[in-house]
Structure 1
């Protein structure tokens, strides 16, 4: 009796852990977008046409965005775990968890290492860019770049996987997401482009997590 209960219970426990991982991954995107959106509307002096979302990590209330980045990164790591447990065959079964893990780790690093105050934000900061970026600002930019590049490659891998399975709409959608994330940054509209990249990235992770959760 004990052996039967243990044997039959293992798949149930595994499914439960998969669901929890994918639920955490699915929630990370909405939490990030809601937190950043509310801060953009309420933080004094913030202007999305001049200030990237990452600058919300500066100032006395910067801890809110720092926590937001870290939670998003944890969601990315949860997505990596969920992918590893649910995609056990086919194209991307090895690459996708690694790429999602890099995305998650990059988001955590982007939260821990903050940008420099500049261009009049937070309120009271001199207008204009900093004369020289600090080491933690450089680290932040590098972590964010690696993170979003990894996610773009993951979208390409998933597009190939969908194409192999003749899921053409899904393949096109994944390819379009990758294209947006890989577009070169425009110096004139960089903050807007970063915001769009964030919207695309976290919409992609949420949809993928929900899709995997349904299939699981």
Structure 2
């Protein structure tokens, strides 16, 4: 029985490691794609256009695909957490919350926002006269996704506090605070980009931490 159990345990760890690796890569892939698009797509201005607006126009399929891949990475991370975090605070809540984040990203990719403020090129340089239904779904999906991740960061903060791990607790608390800050109408696109950077840095660090622990 022991000779069978050891290879089985190794297989489980290997699969868990792959899931966590996929979760760790979601953020770097998302931002590599977004940055390349921001630098190469005519008319895009990060001070006026949120990253989500890259999903509009003829080349919008690139950002749509990016959202979906990042969402799948989030789901992989959720399953990886479930497999590796088997005790203590957050063992049940964290996989669910990170899973909601992943599903929200996929929905945000499938349901795009409206062209506006001159992007894509040829769009009137003004806000959309009325938000389309898919733009409303996009905004709602993104809000739910980032709120779920902020709550996940709070749960992990509590876990680290109970284990007297001060620096991880402070780092997770700071991430949650940034993600929960209200949006500023004057700097919304920049704030969205910062929130995305914080969110994906958090998922990458969490995935690598769990992978190392596993």
TM range (shorter): over 0.9
Following superposition, the deviation at residue 4 of structure 1 comes to 5.2
Equivalent residue, structure 2, for 1:172:
170
The CA distance in 1 between the partners of 2:83 and 2:2, in whole Å, is 23
Aligned length, in residue pairs: 214
Residue from 198, 202, 205 that aligns with 1:204: 202
The CA distance in 1 between the partners of 2:118 and 2:205, in whole Å, is 36
Residue from 88, 110, 113 that aligns with 1:112: 110
Per-residue Cα deviation, 1:85-129 (whole angstroms, up to 9, x for no partner)? 111110000000000000000000000000100000001111100
Two-structure CA RMSD over aligned residues (Å): 0.8
Equivalent residue, structure 1, for 2:86:
88
Give the structure-1-normalised TM-score. Answer: 0.98
Equivalent residue, structure 2, for 1:46:
44
Residue from 16, 20, 45 that aligns with 1:22: 20
Following superposition, the deviation at residue 6 of structure 1 comes to 3.2
Structure 2: 5+ residue stretches without partners:
none
Following superposition, the deviation at residue 38 of structure 1 comes to 1.0
The CA distance in 2 between the partners of 1:4 and 1:92, in whole Å, is 31
The CA distance in 1 between the partners of 2:114 and 2:157, in whole Å, is 37
Equivalent residue, structure 1, for 2:31:
33
**Post-superposition, which runs of at least 4 consecutive aligned residues in structure 1 deviate over 4 A?**
none
Structure 1: 5+ residue stretches without partners:
none
Following superposition, the deviation at residue 8 of structure 1 comes to 2.4
Alignment of structure 1 residues 130-149 onto 2, 5 Å: 130-149=128-147
Per-residue Cα deviation, 1:17-56 (whole angstroms, up to 9, x for no partner)? 1000000000011000111111111110000111000000
Following superposition, the deviation at residue 9 of structure 1 comes to 1.8
Equivalent residue, structure 2, for 1:71:
69
The CA distance in 1 between the partners of 2:46 and 2:172, in whole Å, is 26
The CA distance in 2 between the partners of 1:176 and 1:158, in whole Å, is 12
